[in-house]
């Protein structure tokens, strides 16, 4: 699946929760989907224009609203196979050439990675608290599943970075 359908998926999905302006949509994507998805303004507005032309969303009182056809399309898009993004991990690319980069710089990279993972965990913990406090939103359990995914990855990253530091410079961590 090319990228465009996935942008449509994110946009229609967000609008299926509630009608929004394009600006608010962008904010919702950053704040709510931000831990596993991103779209830039340059993508969102053209996408909205396209979806509107196709009758999948309609502008109602300044806000974009998903139509019945839009909900059908959303359901279809959700069933398309998950697209595998090619991996591109700049941290590992640098560590791989560690002997050229130099040991100290590598240790710095690992410390940064550990800090970053900790920060992510803190953010996710506060999001989790918020979501758990909510009354029974129909998607609450799914929200929690995606939060758990982020937590699992961040914990794994933090642990890997700490253990690597320890194995590379024992006692210096």
Partner DNA sequence: AGAAACATGTAAAATGTTACATGATTGT
Partner DNA sequence: ACAATCATGTAACATTTTACATGTTTCT
Q: Which residues bind DNA (CB under 7 A)?
A: 2-4, 6-7, 21-24, 27, 38-43, 45-46, 48-49, 62, 86, 88
Taking the least distance from each CB to DNA, the nearer of 42 and 81 is 42
Q: Are 25 and 44 in contact (CB under 8 A)?
A: yes
The angle formed by the CA atoms of residues 64, 66 and 71, to the nearest 5 degrees, is 160
Extract long-range pairs of 91-94: CB within 8 Å, 24+ residues apart.
none
* Smallest distance, a second copy to C-beta of residue 1, A: 8
Per-residue binding string, a second copy, 69-88, x by CB under 8 A, is --x--xx--xx--xxxxxxx
Q: Give the 3-state DSSP-derived string for 43-92, with helices as H, strands as E and coil as C.
A: HHHHHHHHHHHCCCEEEECCEEEECHHHHHHHHHHHCCCCCCCCCCCHHH
Residue 96 binding result from DNA, a second copy, none, given CB thresholds of 5 to 8 Å by partner type: a second copy
Binding footprint of a second copy on the chain (CB under 8 A): 6, 9-10, 13, 16, 33-38, 71, 74-75, 78-79, 82-101, 105-106, 109, 112, 138-139, 141-143, 145-146, 148-149, 152-153, 155-157, 159-160, 163-164, 168
């Amino acid at each position: 699946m090319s990228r465009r359908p996935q942008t449509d998926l994110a946009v229609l999905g967000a609008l299926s929760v509630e009608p929004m302006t394009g600006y608010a949509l962008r904010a919702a994507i950053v704040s709510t989907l931000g831990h596993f998805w991103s779209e830039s303004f340059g993508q969102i507005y053209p996408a909205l224009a396209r979806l509107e032309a196709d009758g999948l969303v309609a502008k109602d009182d300044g806000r974009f609203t998903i139509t019945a056809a839009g909900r059908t399309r959303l359901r279809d898009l959700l069933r398309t196979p998950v697209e595998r993004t090619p991996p591109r991990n700049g941290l590992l690319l640098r560590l791989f050439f560690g002997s050229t980069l130099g040991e100290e710089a590598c240790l710095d990279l690992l410390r940064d990675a550990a800090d970053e993972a900790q920060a992510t965990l803190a953010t996710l913990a506060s999001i989790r608290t918020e979501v758990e406090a909510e009354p029974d939103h129909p998607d609450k359990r799914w929200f929690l599943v995606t939060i758990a995914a982020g937590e699992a990855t961040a914990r794994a990253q933090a642990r890997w970075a700490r253990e690597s530091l320890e194995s590379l410079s024992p006692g210096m961590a």
